[in-house]
Amino acid sequence: MTTPPPPSEPETAAVPTCYRHPGRETYVRCQRCDRSICPDCMREASVGFQCPECVAEGNKTVRQAQTAFGGRAVTTPRATWTLLVLNVLAYVAETLAPGPVIYGFQMDAGAVYHGEWWRLLTGAFLHAPLANGSFAITHILFNMWALYVIGPELERRLGSLRFLALYLLSALGGAVAVYLFGIAAVGASGAIYGMFGALFVVSRRLGYNARGVLLLIVANAVITFAVPGISWQGHLGGLITGTVVGVILAYAPQRNRNVVQWGGCAVVLLALAAVVMTLPPYIYQLQLGFPG
Measured distance CA(246)–CA(34) in Å, rounded? 50
Strands (E), 21-165: 43-44, 49-50, 107-108
Q: Which of 160, 170, 189, 203 is catalytic?
A: 189
The span from the CA of 114 to the CA of 260, in Å, is 34
Catalytic one among 36, 139, 231, 235? 235
Q: Give the chain's end-to-end CA distance (angstroms, integer).
A: 130
Cα–Cα distance for residue pair 201/193, rounded to 1 Å = 13
**114 has catalytic annotation:** no
Task: Give dist(CA 92, CA 114) in Å, integer.
Answer: 28
Residues in contact with 283: Cβ distance below 8 Å, sequence separation at least 6, in sequence order: 109, 110, 183
Catalytic residue flag (residue 127) = no
Backbone angles phi, psi at 62, to 5 degrees: -85, 125
User: 163, 151 in Cβ contact below 8 A?
Assistant: yes
The total number of residues written for the chain in this structure: 292
Strand stretches in 130-280, DSSP E: 184-185
Report the chain's C-alpha Rg in angstroms. Answer: 30
Contact 155, 163 (CB under 8 A): yes
Catalogue the active-site residues.
Answer: 189, 235
